[in-house]
Structures are given as C-alpha cells and as structure tokens.
Amino acid sequence: MPATSFCQDTLRVKNGKLERNFGKSTSIYADSSGLLDINGAIKNKNFIKENTAVPNLGVSSIAYWLQFNVKNESNSPSTMLQLQLPTIDYIDFYLINANNQIVYQNKTGDRVRYSNRKFDNPVFSFKFELTPNEPYKIFIRISGGEQLQAPLILGNSDSFIQEIQNSFLIFGLYIGIVSVMFIYNLFLFISTKDKSYLYYIIYIFVIALTQANFQGYTFKFLWPDNIWLSTYSVYILSSLAAMTAIEFMKQFLHTAHYVPKMDKFLNLFYIPYILALIAAFSGHLNIGYQTIQVTAVVAALYMLVVASRVYSLGYKPAKFFLVAWSVFLLGVCSFVLKDYNILPYNTLTYNMMPFGSALEVTLLSFALADKINTFKKEKEESQAESLRAITENERLVREQNIVLEFRVKERTEELELALTDLKEAQSQLVDSEKMAGLGQLTAGIAHEINNPINFVTSNIKPLELDILDLDSVIHMYEAIDFNQEIKPQITNIESFKKQIDISFVREEIKLLLSGIDEGARRTAEIIRSLKNFSRLDENDTKPVDLNEGLDSTLVLIRSTFPSNLKIVKDYQVLPLVECMPGKINQVFMNLITNGIYAIKSKPEQNEEEFVTIKTWQEDKHVKISIKDSGTGMPDEVKQKIFEPFFTTKDVGEGTGLGLSIVFRIIENHNGNIDVVTKVNQGTEFIITLPINNGN
C-alpha cells in the first residue's frame, strides 16, 4: 500500500546503540525512468513501505529511492549511516530537515573515485550532524549493474568505532589465513615443481582478490582512482575465480585420466563466463551479472558431481576436495540465501563466503599435503617391488650362468682358449649388467668358431694321405740300389708317381694348407672380435673407437643373420670416445639383435631386408643410429620398451631386460637414446654419447 514518510516509524539515534537492518522502517520507490531528482522524491507520494529487514532490490537497471525518518536522542549531534554493500555503482545521500530543506548531501559509489569519498572506509559511510530531538528525513538513491541490497546501520559516530574495527579485524584474519596458505604452497611448488601447486596458488590469489573486491578493499588499496576497474572488477574477478577453480580441480583430481568425458564437459563452462564479460563490457551489466550467477551455481554443483565420481573410482585425495568444496559451497549458499532474504542479513551471513573460502583454502592445502604422502608411499612400494624384481633377476641370471659355464667346460680342447675368453666376457657381463641374452651370444660364437675349425679338421686327413704318398716316393728314391741297374728302378718310381698323380698331390697339398690357414685366420678374427667386445677393463672408462666396437659386435652375432639380411654400414670418422667399452658393445649387441628379431618376426618377408648402421659427430657428441626394416611398434608399446621385464616376444624367447639394460648403460654414460618407429615400417634407435664423459 502507498504510504507517505509521515506514516513511517521514526528511527531514534541513542547513545551506544546501533540500529541494524531497519528496512521495515523504510519506504521504497522504483524510478524506472531514472530521471527523478531529490526535489521530486520529496514531493513523491508513491513510496511503498518495505516489509523486510534488508531491502532486496535484485539485479536491475532501475534506480531505487529509499526514505526513512530519523531523530537524534543522543547527547552528540555527530551521526553516521552505513550501507554495507561495497559493490553498488551509484549512491546519492540526502538529509532533509522538517522544512524539506537539504541540510547535507553526498554522492558516491563504485563509479566515483575513492579519493572523493568524504569518509575513508570501503563500506559506504555517511557522516552528518543531527540536532538532538529534531525530526529529519533521509533519502537514498541507489542503482547499479549487480545485486542491489540495502543493509543499513545507523547510530551516533562514537558507536561505530567498534563496528569499523570488527569489520577490519574479520577481513584481516581472512587475508592472514589466505596469505599463509599462498606462501606455504608457493614454497611447495618451488621445491616439488608439481603443477597442482601452481594452479592452486593462482586460484588462492584470484579468490582472495575476489573476496577483497566484494568487501570493497580492492577499491581502497589497489585501484582507488581507476573507475573502469572499480566498475568491472566484480565481473572479471568472479569469472576468473570460477575458471581457476575449474583448472585447479582438473589438475588436482586428474579428471582427464579418471573421467575424460566429464573433463571435456568442464571446458564448456568457459563459454557463458566469456559471454558474461562481453555483455558487461558492452554495457549490459545486469545481463552479465545474472549470467555469472547462474553459471556459478551450475558449475559449482557439477564440480561437486565430478569430484564425487573421481572419489568413487578410488582416487583418495578427492575426499579432501569434496569436503573443502562442500564447505565453500555452504558459504556461497549462505551468502546467496542472505541476498534473497531467506537467511537473515547479519555479520555471520555477510561473512560466510570469506569464511567458507578461508576454510576451503586450508582444507585444500591439507589435500595437497596428503597427495604428497600418497605419492611418497606409492614410490616406496614401487621401489620395493623393483628391488624384489632385480633380486629375482639376479638369482635367475646366476642359475643361468652356472648352466652356461658347465656347457663351456664341455667344449673341445681346440676351443679352450676362445671359450676361456668367452667365460671371462660372460662373467663380466653377468656381474655388471646381468645379460639375459648370454646364452644366445654363447651359441652364436660357438657356431661361428665351429665352422672354421670343422674346415681345418676336414682338411687334415686328406693332407695326411698326400704327405704319406710323397713320403712313399721319397722312400723309393732312398731305396735305389746303385749296384744294380738304375733304369728299371727309376721306371718303377715314375710308374708309382703316375699312379698317385704326383702333380695333383702337390696342388692338393697347397690347397689344403691354404684352407687350414683360412680357417685359422677366421678363428683368430672371431677371437679378436670377442676380446674387443668383452673388454676385461669394462668397469673403467677409456678412449674407444666405436666403429671398431660395432664391427666386433657384428662378427659375434653373424650366425643369427637371416639369409635375406643385408647389413648397411655408413661410418664416419669418429674421435675416440671416453666410455666403458664392454658395456657400450653390449648396447650395440642388444639393439642389433632386437632389430634382427623384428625382421624375422615379419609375417611377409621382403626379398632383401636391411639393418642400417650410421655413425657421425655433432659438436661434442657422437651419434650412432641402428635402423631395421622390421615390424615397428605402436605408440603404446614404444612407451614401455625401456621398462624392466617388458617384452613383446613369445614366452621363453625373451626376459624383457635387454632394452632396460641399454637405457641404464646410456644414462650412466651421460647420454640419451631416442626411438623413431612406425608400424610395418621399422624402428630406428639413435644413441647420443658425449665424447668426454664427465663421470
């Protein structure tokens, strides 16, 4: 019902008492035209009595006039009125005496420089004088693009001292908590390099700025003369707070891993926030603010659902996020319900959002700390499992070594020196790198040495027969009796020489000796390659010719080559590289044999398959490329090939240790190894080693 100001209750200012949230003692008029001035407001009879303690005017572009009667019954004329909503754009204050004359006026708001305020306080404060026991009327005109409310406090100036101190104390406690959490997590980020902490400290910074903006402190301390920031900071900071919260949650909960579809849907919330900013910057402040409010509610609830889902999938740190986010949502809901008069407007409800924010920041810090403990425990368990696996591997290799040593002792006497060298090489490789493929190497070397030895032994018997024939001829010449007729005896010898074909015997002896010499030379080459491969001093670094090491390795594994394999060597002149030669040769053998296996396992063989070996120098490093034309690898296999015990070979064909040993050896030499592969197009391993090893 329409009511004039004379029908309203009169607010009485008394000593030591503050009148709080006295909306029911006010009347309101909505000026849809926005053209009504103070003189028109004084004469206007269409004010409507308010029925709530805190007038809630919603989000609207309409200008609202509030009026109420006041009388000073204290012993001091100094009086103060506070409107405790620091984000209102425009506020016009008028004090009218009983003769309808303006005795005091003040125009302020977010769109007025802070330095122009007559009272230095982030909360809009109006200080004026009321003659005791005389009636006055107060008119307040407010308008803006955000939520408009009128939480009013009235009293004499002395009564406000404690009120102002309390407001500063509450916000100071909030900033203190947030600052401690920010600094604490900043140090954790610097020490751990974990991106979760980076996203978190950004989120803390933005949420603290947002809360400070709602309390009016950013306008006071950060941009007191920047009207543009004062106007749009609510929209910018609210949007940034939501976006940083989403990004932190995605990083902390690993949503892309646990809930990939829900993770992609989270990105859709950026669209309404961007549209809200565009609307606000184009002058549609009310639309922008309403869009931010609706999006914030939906996004917050959806984030709660995502966190619940991640926790249900077994990610334990999500429980801390659930609790922290629920606390923050409780604070936000209390703040919003206060805006809609569902909860009473008081100090508690007004500060519920910063209180919930501070508690959330603290709980999330605990969550990140728990995450560190979880990762530490998982790492310890992983290390224990790796130690167990290595111990088991050592046991298996020792047992295999015993069997191999027994077989080596059964070799023939002719191979004893070569096999002794092989045993020494085997012992060094097993003790240092636990070579799972030692049996294959032994069999290959035995096969390589057996061929020239068989060649030698097969030539010995024919050579013996030819020498006996020559010996018979010599014996016949020695048996000539010069006392008898010589010619018949010579004729008999010539007949025997024709019988045994003395010319053929001579040529055959030459051929047999040449064959024996070739067999001995090939045996010596294999022994020399074996010695170069094994290197008894492999635990010490020394300058080495890597091209020579590659050739030695190829000699030792030549027996494993398929008939259609062609070895292509493209060696450049390399400087001597400081390394442990035995271990580097082991790397070459593992990579080449893996390439040969990849070629053999192709379902369709080409007429000619290739293993290409290239060496070259780049600055202070040398590079070795070993490329095969085998089956190649998909990405999921490529990611695991250097893991211990991972193998794509059939059961019984591989231990899965070869490439993990390769990786460890290259790493110990301060080098690195790159893999280029494509399914059905082969694989290339590129090794990079420093010429001078720092270790």
Instruction: Quote the CA–CA distance of 57 and 62 in Å, as a whole number.
Output: 9
* Of the listed ranges 115-129, 308-322, 487-501, the one predicted with least confidence: 487-501
Note whether 523 and 549 are same-domain residues.
no
User: Burial letters for 616-633: b for 16+ Cβ neighbours within 10 Å, e otherwise?
Assistant: eeeeebbbbbbbbbbbbb
What average pLDDT does the segment 417-446 reach? 52
Q: What is the pLDDT of residue 536?
A: 43
> Is a pLDDT exceeding 90 seen at residue 496?
no
The domain boundary, picked from 493, 511, 534, lies at 534
Give the strand pairing for 147-149 and 542-544: unpaired
Q: Average of pLDDT values for 572-587? A: 87
Tell me, yes or no, whether 239 lies in a domain.
yes
Q: Which residues contact 337 (CB under 8 A, 6 or more apart)?
A: 343, 349
- The number of CA neighbours under 13 Å toward the Cβ of 325 is 25
- Is the same domain home to 203 and 82? no
Sorting pLDDT into bands at 50, 70 and 90, what band is 336?
Answer: low
Q: What is the pLDDT of residue 434?
A: 46
Q: In terms of pLDDT, which residue wins out, 335 or 483?
A: 483
Strands 135-143 and 90-96: antiparallel
Q: Is the pLDDT of residue 101 over 90?
A: yes
Q: Is residue 383 part of a domain?
A: no
Q: Are residues 146 and 202 in the same domain?
A: no
Q: Other CB atoms closer than 10 Å to residue 558's CB: what's the count?
A: 15
In DSSP terms, 570 is beta-bridged to 614
Say if 627 falls within a structural domain: yes
Last residue of a domain, one of 158, 184, 206: 158
Kindly state whether residues 201 and 346 are assigned to the same domain. Answer: yes
Residue 184 placed within a domain = no
Average pLDDT score over the chain:
82
Taking only the tens place, the pLDDT of each residue in 150-175 is 989 999 988 888 777 877 887 888 88
- Put residue 647 in one of left, alpha, beta given phi > 0 → left and psi -120 to 50 → alpha: beta
Q: Structurally, how many domains does the chain consist of? A: 4
Residue 421 pLDDT: 63
Q: What is the pLDDT of residue 454?
A: 59
In this predicted structure, the answer to whether residue 92 has a pLDDT above a threshold of 70 is: yes
Report the CATH number that the domain containing residue 149 is assigned in CATH. Answer: 2.60.40.2380
User: Per-residue pLDDT tens for 348-387?
Assistant: 776 676 777 777 777 777 777 666 666 667 677 777 777 7
Q: Does 441 score more than 80 pLDDT?
A: no
Q: What percent of the chain has pLDDT over 90?
A: 29
CATH assignment at residue 617:
3.30.565.10
Contact 253, 374 (CB under 8 A): no
Q: Are 500 and 516 in a shared domain?
A: yes
**Which is higher by pLDDT, 540 or 569?**
569
* Cα atoms in the 13 Å half-sphere on the side-chain side of 162: 6
Which of residues 63 and 340 earns the better pLDDT score?
Answer: 63
pLDDT at site 616:
94
pLDDT for residue 2 is more than 50: no
Lowest mean pLDDT among 61-70, 554-563, 584-593, 663-672: 554-563
pLDDT at 375: 63
- From 524-538, 618-632, 670-684, the region with the lowest mean pLDDT: 524-538
**Are residue 39 and residue 145 in the same domain, yes or no?**
yes
> pLDDT-based confidence at 652, cuts 50/70/90?
low
CA 575 from chain center: how many Å? Answer: 39
Domain finish residue from 158, 183, 208: 158
Residues 628, 656: one domain?
A: yes
Strands 124-129 and 10-13: unpaired
Q: Phi and psi at residue 643, in whole multiples of 5°?
A: -80, 140
Residue 416 lies in a domain: yes
Same domain, 58 and 113: yes
Residues 435 and 475 in one domain: yes
Tokens of 231: 């106007």
Backbone dihedral angles phi then psi of residue 623, each to the nearest 5 degrees: -125, 140
Is 80 within a domain? yes
Q: Which pLDDT score is estimated for 5?
A: 40
Q: What confidence score (pLDDT) does residue 431 get?
A: 46
Nearby residues of 28 by Cβ (< 8 Å), 6 or more positions away: 47, 48, 50, 55, 57, 64, 65, 66
Residues 312 and 420 both lie in one domain: no
**What pLDDT does residue 542 have?**
84
Same domain, 517 and 563: no
Helices (H) and strands (E) in the chain, counts: 20, 20
Residues 518 and 654 in one domain: no
Averaged over 177-188, what is the pLDDT? 84
Is 392 a member of any domain?
A: no
Domain span at residue 240 reads: 193-372
Task: Evaluate whether residue 556 is within a structural domain.
Answer: yes
